[in-house]
Amino acid sequence: MRLILAILLGKLIGYLTRLFRLGGGSAAPGLYALSIEPDLVTKLAAKIPKNIIITGTNGKTTTAKMLAHFAKNAGLKVIRNHTGSNLERGIASTLIANYQLLTTNYQLDLGIWELDEAAFNTIAPKLKPDIIVFLNVFRDQLDRYGEIDTVVKNWCKTLQILNPKTIVLVNGDDANTAKLANCFKGRIQKFGVKDYKISGESIEHVKEKENLDFEAKNVKLNGLEGSTFQLLTTNYQLPTTLPLPGLYHIYDALAAFACADKLGLSLSKLASSLKSYSPAFGRMEKLPFGYIFLIKNPAGATQVFETIAPNLKPDDRLLLALNDNIADGTDVSWIWDTEFEQLLSSSLRGAKPASTQRGERRGNLYISGTRACDLAVRLKYAGFDPKNIIIEPDLQNTLKEARTGLKGRLFILPTYTAMLELQKILAKSGIKKEYWKEE
């Protein structure tokens, strides 16, 4: 009875937040429902045939979205917490919104849950997952998650209490996730890329000794278009075209493929369904006048720079937005661990005489967000001429200015809450739908 009451309350709050346009209702319904029924997640998740958890610092949303895409293509009915609201209240909200009061059940095959590094430890035992994916551990918001060693230690403790029959998939190229093999009673399976080293990898380790269960070979990166590679499993070799740029997205794709394989889906069909895949909102998003790439921590941001830098043309402009809200991390010092220098080397590429080159770059770099000045200082020390940096903390104004007289493309690199704000600005100006209505 308490469960039903909690669900009813949650559904009502969800309805009201959407009615009054307070947002997508991705947190509040769960928050209130959990205060009535603390075991809500356990009870409702048990009604879903299979649950998959995806955790790690970077790539959760992209992996979850790709896996959902695969599953839907295979005819499965899926739910996931798809607006990046990955705390318990976010999971609860999704479970409530999809619950059918009439049949007191779900018409679903699969739940895909992305959990942040800390939320994993409290929620995984409640969800009792069939499959867990550990993508990577990088420095991210140390003010919130604590140090890397602590994150891994806590994951270890959680793995020890989970059912040893759980399928555990880890990034074999990340020394920290690979270590998890030692703390799980069952067998851990690994995915990775043998030919490349991913930047930001915290600890060097020898890859040749690694036995990968899912591997990308012959990787070819094709600029902003994406990449091609051979997907190798114990019994398949599959040519794959991934419509997402950058090596880091290959890891997300491998994780999604590995999960799909464990669900018994046909991999060859999945590879061809990638053509119709569209990226998660804001992570890597194509706009009529440019692109959005989310940046949120040193490793992820550096990977984004590596991906876009070789593709920047002289007429292109950059807009970077740094916020220090709780979801971004209140500590902005991570920008000093991030290689903004990479953007510089590309902007100077093009081989024109230095003087005209400098003149052309004037006004091509826009800095915004609550901590715009901090970011501008970082760029100065990365080697950018401060005269070419336009600082405007208000994002809407910056966007307007950056688009005025734009001849090339605009690359927008926002932190998390700046990205949400950007989505609202774009929706208001009719450029795209509200993000919670996507999909």
Partner 1 sequence: MKLIIGYLYGDLMNIYGDTGNITALKKRAEWRGIDVEVKIKNQKSKIKKGECDLYFFGGGQDQAQELVARDLVVSSKGKSIKSEIERGVPLLSVCGGYQLLGDYYKPHKGPKLIGVGLFPVYTEASYDRMIGNIVVESMFGNLVGFENHSGKTYLKKGAIPLGMVTSGFGNNGKDRSEGCIYKNAIGCYMHGSLLPKNPKLADWLLKKALEVKYSKDVDLEPLDDSLELQTHNIAVKKFG
Task: Please report, as ranges, the residues that interact with partner 1 according to CB under 8 A.
Answer: 139, 142-143, 147-150, 330-337, 373-374, 376-378, 380-381, 386
CB of 202 to partner 1, least distance (A): 11
Centre a 10 Å sphere on the Cβ of residue 86 and count the other Cβ atoms it contains: 24
Min dist CB 332 to partner 1, Å, is 7
Closest to 297 measured CA to CA, from 136, 72, 435: 136
CA gap 46, 51 in Å, rounded = 9
Cβ(295)–Cβ(304) under 8 Å?
yes
Tell me the two tokens of residue 319.
């807009």
Whether the CA torsion 336, 156, 84, 277 is positive or negative: it is positive
Q: Least distance from C-beta 333 to partner 1, angstroms?
A: 3
- Residue (142 or 175) nearer to partner 1, CB: 142
Q: Which is nearer to partner 1, 43 or 144 (CB)?
A: 144
Question: What's the min distance (Å) between Cβ of 378 and partner 1?
Answer: 7
Q: How far is the CB of 382 from partner 1 (least distance, A)?
A: 8
Name which of 16 and 373 has its Cβ closer to partner 1. 373
Closest CA to 162 of 187, 128, 112: 128
Q: Toward partner 1, which CB reaches closer, 15 or 336?
A: 336
Dmax (CA) for the chain in angstroms is: 75
Q: Which is nearer to partner 1, 15 or 381 (CB)?
A: 381
Residue placing its CB nearer to partner 1 in the complex, 337 or 360:
337
Half-sphere CA count of 128, side-chain side, radius 13 A: 12
**For residue 369, how far is the Cα from the chain centroid?**
20
- To partner 1, the closest distance from the beta carbon of 329 in angstroms equals 10
| Helix, strand or coil, per DSSP, at residue 142 | helix
Shortest separation between residue 308's beta carbon and partner 1, angstroms: 22
| Amino acid identity, position 74 | A
The DSSP bridge pattern shows strands 131-134 and 188-193 to be unpaired
> For partner 1, which is the closer residue by CB, 157 or 286?
157
Find how far residue 351's CA is from the centre of its chain.
35
Q: From edge to edge, which strands make up the β-sheet containing 284-287?
A: 284-287, 290-293, 410-414, 317-321, 365-368, 389-391
**In the complex, minimum distance from the CB of residue 86 to partner 1, in angstroms, rounded to a whole number:** 22
Our CB check for partner 1 shows the closer of 178 and 231 to be 178
